[in-house]
Amino acid sequence: MSVFVRTIQTSVPSTVLEQPATRDRFAGQPSVSRLGERLLRAAFDQSGIDQRHTVIDGFDMTRGDGGNSGDFYDRDSGTLLVPGTRVRNELYTQEATKLYIDAARQALEADEGIGPDDITHVVTVSCTGFYQPGPDYMLVRQLGLDPRVQRYHLGFMGCYASFPALRAARSFCEADPDAVVLVVSAELCTLHVRSSNDPDQIIASSVFADGAAAAIVSGTPGAGAGLRLEAFDTALTPVGEADMAWTIGDEGFEMVLSSYVPKIIGEHIHDALGPLFSRQAALAGRPYKDVEYWAVHPGGRSILDKVESNLELRPDQLTPSREILRRYGNMSSATILFILKNILDDSSAESEEQVCAMAFGPGLTVESALMTKLSPDKAGTR
């Protein structure tokens, strides 16, 4: 049977980080060496990002004042502080819940055919914090879902985790034609950003951001633009285990994002996509650019550049990915849903169009999917 993403809605915190001002604040930290400053300015300036969002009120580098800045930022000296993991996770518990609820509520309000009573499964996704009762529980309570709804949480998987979530949602719907799955990802990456001279940490500081996205998945399409889920695939590159990693330290979660990651992706992307494309005979032997829409997780601008050049895509085919990177930064697992929403909001397609979506995470893991975008006049007839 066919399974559909009926709607995708997004939510971001109100505090905006303008990239130039944020760069200057990090570069001006007393612990940053001369080499560290050069690396930092280069990373920020080449990121492809104009602005990002954060839940840390006082982290607004253009103002340097506000609510919870005391643990993270000393506004008198301009110093970025280093709170412990407990402080960071307590703020995650408070602020992630708000984003989960807001994105999910928007999704329910956007889908006229689905109400809270219709949701049978909840799948939540995050790698930037933990608490219990968790976000799956909070969604049930605060949105008035049936307390018997089946709940699942995918934690600490990294930037690719929305793919397993959508794959699980499709499996639930295939097993039960009446299933309606609410998938919600919320990531508060800026809680773990810190000043450093380490190149990996500098890269992380230049790209990571906060945001949430929610999707409703069922065996029937919605009335608006949607996606038919066609195929999923998972691949592990033969190298890169140490180049992208995510661990928990005493001063927050510690991200390793090596400058070698784009090169690794470029060398192995054909092998990673081959099995996915082989599942559709119509795609065999055709240029990758024949798939009209590409939703590629922007771990950074250099990753998008490698994907575009190695797959010989047209520049406009990665416009949705570059636009989300420019406006929101890298929100880990939520980012791919922002990109898919951008594609759904594009009203230029008059008929069914193919979408290839892809994300990269620790391991180095490559998750990919083929989907079909359905325009509003087509969605309700499938």
Q: Which residues are catalytic?
A: 159
Judged by DSSP in three states, 153 sits in strand
Looking at the DSSP assignment, which residues form a beta bridge with residue 18?
A: 51
Choose among 128, 192, 118, 175: nearest CA to 155: 128
Q: Quick one: tokens of 133? A: 């009762």
Rounded to whole angstroms, the Cα distance separating 91 from 316 reads: 38
Rounded to whole angstroms, the Cα distance separating 190 from 16 reads: 12
Q: Look up residue 330 and give its DSSP letter.
A: B
Question: At 235, which amino acid appears?
Answer: A
Q: Per-residue DSSP letters for 216-275?
A: EEESS--SSSEEEEEEEEEEE-SS-TTTEEEEEETTEEEEEE-TTHHHHHHHHHHHHHHH
Q: Quick one: tokens of 162? A: 């929305």
Choose among 52, 367, 381: nearest CA to 236: 367
User: CB of 14 within 8 A of CB of 55?
Assistant: no
Rounded to whole angstroms, the Cα distance separating 311 from 368 reads: 14
User: CB of 40 within 8 A of CB of 32?
Assistant: yes
Residue with structure tokens 């285990």? 241
Choose among 42, 40, 22: nearest CA to 198: 40
- Sort strands 365-374 and 226-236 into parallel, antiparallel or unpaired: antiparallel
Tell me the Cα Rg of the chain.
20
Q: Quick one: tokens of 381? A: 């007839």
Compute how many other C-beta atoms are within 10 angstroms of the C-beta atom of residue 109: 12
Compute how many other C-beta atoms are within 10 angstroms of the C-beta atom of residue 168: 17
